Amino acid sequence: MSRFNEILTYRIISHFISQSFAIMASDMERLKDAHILSKEGKRILLWIKIQDHPISFLQIRNLFERIFQLEVVYGRIDGIYIVTNRGYSPSSYSFSRLYENRTVNLYLVTASKLVKFGEENSKPIELIAGDQNNKTYIGIFTCKGGVGKTTIAAHFAATLACHSRKVALLDLDPEQNLSKVTKKRLHVEAKKGEKLSIPVFNHQNIKPLEDGDYDVVVCDFSPALERNLKSVVEKLNYVLMPTTLNPLGLNSGGKVIKNSIDEIRTINKECRIFSFINGYQEDKTKRGAMLKEIYVNSLQNIASDDEKFEFVKPQDVCVRYSVLLYYWGMSMYDDTPSTVVFRSSSSCYPKEDYFALCEYIQRSSMLRM
């Protein structure tokens, strides 16, 4: 730790001590840069992170995962205080705001003061926008069916809604599965007492969407590109191309992804395209390692030919298999509202993975978040 970091850390801890907190433990093996403080029988976790970049979603997620381990040793932790000098990424800010197990307080330390993040001039940067006047269009597309495009569209839209964006869904697939499941409105259970709602449009009622005050439009495309509205394909700012880590999903060294990119490029040459693995399950066998190698090698070749295409390595971000991803579609059978449930008292793969995917895309393409 540099001398400057030491001084900042000392000043932060001194501030809490001046508020009658006592130090129980510091810089623990399970969690560096963390301190357990107590006051009137209550315990708080103080995590001080002095670094050259904003706190990321992965840092916040890893912090929350370690809290349960710390409680085994130190007892119930009633609140969390996080202090940094570089602010918070949009995904880390939103994820912290939605954390239900304990109150999370985010602070920003400057040379002269400690301010609560979100106050004064420390608000999080805005999430995804094509430019300041237009909607951002994000398409979920691949020329192969059965890779989970509709589920991805719903959950990615839900994630953006959790980032306080005005989001709409556009169902362009002639099968209209998104419209059938949602009955033209997708609900999002973000946390206890906070429910969000996303309207679902289709090609027959697209004018209200175009006239509406939405920041982001997430489009569920047909795998046959010619069956989608060309005018929407032309507007796309970003395309998410899911694949699966199996021989059929990879299909002769990334042929499906290559064909999908070629089709998009016949209409839109400027959009950023990201390919990622959907339904990932950890496989430590030799065959599993071979599939990962095929995925990386084949898509590296594609990336070298298209500077606006990027494949996401599974060790960086992927959408893991989870039964929770099925529940939003149960409305087709039990007549309940179609709801993406991101609430969970423990680990929730869909919530974590889609927040991580959102942050990855933002950081990679410099999206305004």
91: domain CATH number is: 3.40.1350.10
The verdict on residue 131 lying in a domain is no
For residues 149 and 88, state if they share a domain: no
The verdict on residue 146 lying in a domain is yes
For residues 215 and 276, state if they share a domain: yes
In percent, how much of the chain has pLDDT > 70?
90
Q: Averaged over 32-61, what is the pLDDT?
A: 91
CA-based end-to-end distance of the chain: 30
For residues 161 and 29, state if they share a domain: no
pLDDT at site 140: 98
- What are the strands, taking DSSP E only, across 194-290? 194-202, 216-220, 238-243, 272-280
Q: Is the dihedral of CA 286, 290, 291, 296 positive or negative?
A: positive
pTM of the predicted protein model? 0.91
Domain count for the chain: 2
For residues 206 and 248, state if they share a domain: yes
The verdict on residue 128 lying in a domain is no
The verdict on residue 121 lying in a domain is no
User: Does an H or E element contain 85, and which?
Assistant: none
pLDDT band at 132; cut points 50, 70, 90 = very low
Domain boundary among 83, 116, 149: 116
pLDDT at site 130: 52
The verdict on residue 79 lying in a domain is yes
For residues 236 and 292, state if they share a domain: yes
- What are the strands, taking DSSP E only, across the chain? 22-28, 31-39, 42-49, 79-84, 103-109, 114-116, 136-140, 167-171, 185-191, 194-202, 216-220, 238-243, 272-280, 309-311, 319-320, 339-341
Greater model confidence, 238 or 32: 238
pLDDT at site 333: 87
Q: Is the dihedral of CA 124, 125, 128, 132 positive or negative?
A: positive
How far, CA to CA in Å, does 112 sit from each of 12, 173, 248?
11, 55, 58
For residues 187 and 308, state if they share a domain: yes
For residues 153 and 101, state if they share a domain: no
The verdict on residue 322 lying in a domain is yes
The verdict on residue 163 lying in a domain is yes
Domain that holds residue 241: 136-365
Would you say how long the chain is, in residues? 369
Query: Is pLDDT of 180 > 70?
Result: yes
Q: Averaged over 107-132, what is the pLDDT?
A: 65
For residue 313, the Cα-to-chain-centroid distance in whole angstroms is 16
For residues 39 and 95, state if they share a domain: yes
For residues 76 and 189, state if they share a domain: no
For residues 153 and 81, state if they share a domain: no
- Mean pLDDT (the chain) is 87
Question: pLDDT per residue over 254-299, tens digit each?
Answer: 788 999 999 999 999 999 999 999 998 888 888 888 888 888 888 8
For residues 69 and 150, state if they share a domain: no
For residues 21 and 163, state if they share a domain: no
The verdict on residue 124 lying in a domain is no
The CA distance from 262 to 17, in Å, is 61
**CATH code of residue 246:** 3.40.50.300
